[in-house]
Structure 1
C-alpha cells in the first residue's frame, strides 16, 4: 500500500510516498481504508524535528493523526463496527494517517457524518476533539459566558468558535487582520486583529472573559490574568505549563486558573461532533485539499500564512488540489 513517510527531520522535502506493508489489525483494532487525513500542527512539529527526541526511534514516520474512511475488517474483539461503515478516527502518537490503510482501536473511532464527504470529514477528529474537550471539558463552558478564542482562524480555532456559539457563549475571535472576515463568518460575535488585543486594559479588565482558549499555545497565564473573570480560566493547547505563573495557576483551586487540554481519542465525542455536522450546526472549515502525491505541497501550504481552517490530504484516486 502507499504511505507518505519521512526518514529524517527537515523541511517538507523530506516527505516521500512509498510502498509499505499493510497493517494487520489486532484484537479490538478496526482496519480502515483511508479516504483522507488532515495536517495538524503536530505533523509539522514532528516532521520539522521540534519533537525529535520523542520521535527519533520511530523513523521512518508516517504523518497524519486523524483519518476518515471505510471499515474493511477488524480483529477478533471488534464489536462496534462492521465492513462498509463510514468512520473517522483520531490516531495515537504514532500517527499513520497518510496511508491507504490504517488499523485503529475501536474506542477511538466514531461514525462519520453522512452529510459531507469522507475527504471533508478527515478534517474533524484532532481539531474538533481538541476544541470540544477544551471548551466543554477543561473550560466547563456554560451558556451566557464570555469566551475569547485566540488563533480563531486556525484548524482548532475555527471549530472552537463554532462550538462555543453552539454551547451558548458570547464569542470573541482573535486572528490576523486579513482573516477576520473568515472568523466572522464562523459566527464570532466580535473579531479582533492580533495586534488589537490588550490584556491589561484598565484593571480590573473592562470586559473580563470567563474562558480564554489559546489554540496556538502562544499565551501565558500572567499576561492574560487581568482579562479573566473571577473564576475565569486560560485553557491552552500546550501539553504542559511552561512558566511559573502557569504552574501556580494550574494548582489553584479558586480564582482565575490555568488548564491545558490533552486531546483524548474518544469515539463518543466524535459521534457528538457528527450529530452537530448532520444537523447543519457545525461546518467543517476545509481550506484546501491535496492529493497524497503532493504531500510535500500540502505541508508547505499548511506552514504558510494564508491557511484558514484545515488542510486535507486525500487518498482518493480522483482527488486533486483546490
Structure 2
C-alpha cells in the first residue's frame, strides 16, 4: 500500500440504505497484471440493492464494497501490463467481485475495455452490465431470430431499455410493458408500450403480438407476474426470467416467489418453455474475446447514436444510500450512476 488514502463505500451489516458507509482506505497498489483505476462513474444495480439487504443470506461476506460496473482513468499499471497506459479511460465489469463504489480500484487489465473519446463516463458505464446482460439474454439464452416478437416485462428501467434497443438492432418486433409514465421512453426505444395496470393487460399483449410473443423476458418476477408472462407467450414461445425488480418494492425474497411457477410449467399445455440463461457473471469472464469485442462494439454504437444508454440520475458517490433508495422506489427510468467527483488523495 502507498502512503495515500482514498474513500470507498463499505457495507458492514445488511439492512436499509443507511448501512452504506463512506470510509477511508489505503490507496491500493496494482498486482503485476492489474491496473489501478481512478473511478469516474460506477453503476448502481438491483443486484447491489439485493445484496445489501437480506436477499442472499451470508453472501457476500462482510464487510464488502458493492459495485459491478465502473468507468475511470488508468492511474497506475502493474509491471506486466502492456495493453493499457496511464491516462487512458477504461470501463469494465467486476464479474461478481464487486468493489466499484470506490474512488480507486485495482482490476485485471484483461477485464477492462478502452472507452473512446466523446463518450461520457456516465453513459459508458450504463452500457456495461445492462447491455452485456441484454445481449446474453437475447442471443445466448433466447436465441432470437429476426422478425420474432419480443415482449419485455418491466421495460422502463435501464436493463429493459437495453433489451428493447438491442432487440431492435436484431430485427425484432418489440413491445414493452410498464407503468404509463414510462411509455414515452419505451416508444423512444422503438417498442410498442403496454400499460401493466390495464385490466386486460394479458389479452392486450396477445392482441398486439398477433397471438402471443415469441419471447417474453420478465424483469419483474414473482409468481403472479410470471404467470402473466407465461400467458402472453405464443404456444411455442420462450420465457426468460431475468430479474426480480418487483421484490425490491415488496420486500420479499427473490427466489421463493418464483417457485410456484414450477407447478404452472407442469400443467400448462403446448410447447411453451422456460429458457435458462448463461451465467451473467461467468460467461463474460469465461469468454474474454466475446466480452472485449461486444463491449467495444457497444461503445462504438453509442458514439454513432445506434444505442442510447439511459442515465436516470447521477449521484455523488458518497451519497450511495440515496441512490439505493431511488432504485428501491421503483420510480427510476434508466441507470442510476454514482459519480466520484472528488478523487483527491489524502496524504498521511
Classify the TM-score, shorter chain. 0.7 to 0.9
1:200 CA displacement: 6.7
Match of 1:168 among 147, 171, 179: 171
| Contact kept? 2:36, 2:106, Cα under 8 Å | yes
1:105 CA displacement: 2.5
| Stretches of structure 1 lacking an aligned partner (at least 5 in a row) | none
Query: TM-score w.r.t. structure 2 length?
Result: 0.80
1:240 CA displacement: 7.8
| Stretches of structure 2 lacking an aligned partner (at least 5 in a row) | 1-5, 244-253, 285-290, 344-348
Distance 2:212 2:66 in 1: 39
Is 2:140 aligned against 1:137?
yes
| Contact kept? 2:218, 2:226, Cα under 8 Å | no
The aligned residue for residue 112 of structure 2 is 109
Q: Deviations over 1:21-68 (max 9, x none)?
A: 23333343332111010110011111112213222xx22221111100
CA shift in 2, pair 1:133/1:247, >3 Å:
farther
1:126 CA displacement: 1.3
SS in 2 for 1:195: coil
1:154 CA displacement: 1.0
CA shift in 2, pair 1:86/1:192, >3 Å:
same
1:312 CA displacement: 0.6
1:76 CA displacement: 4.1
1:248 CA displacement: 9.6
CA shift in 2, pair 1:200/1:21, >3 Å:
same
CA shift in 2, pair 1:218/1:183, >3 Å:
farther
Distance 1:231 1:23 in 2: 52
Is 2:196 aligned against 1:208?
no
| Contact kept? 1:33, 1:101, Cα under 8 Å | yes
The aligned residue for residue 16 of structure 1 is 21
Distance 2:273 2:33 in 1: 39
Distance 1:202 1:150 in 2: 11
Q: Deviations over 1:246-284 (max 9, x none)?
A: 59979xxx9432124332432332112112112210011
CA RMSD after TM alignment: 2.9
Aligned length: 312
Moved more, 67-76 or 289-298: 67-76
Moved more, 289-298 or 278-287: 289-298
The aligned residue for residue 273 of structure 2 is 257
The aligned residue for residue 238 of structure 2 is 233
Structure 1 segments, 4+ long, off by >6 Å, are: 200-205, 247-250
The aligned residue for residue 217 of structure 1 is 221
Distance 1:280 1:48 in 2: 37
Moved more, 147-156 or 218-227: 218-227
| Contact kept? 1:240, 1:260, Cα under 8 Å | no
The aligned residue for residue 191 of structure 1 is 193
Distance 2:100 2:66 in 1: 6
Distance 1:275 1:247 in 2: 44
Distance 1:91 1:218 in 2: 28
The aligned residue for residue 290 of structure 1 is 315
- Structure 2 matches for 1:28-107, cutoff 5 A? 28-55=33-60, 58-107=61-110
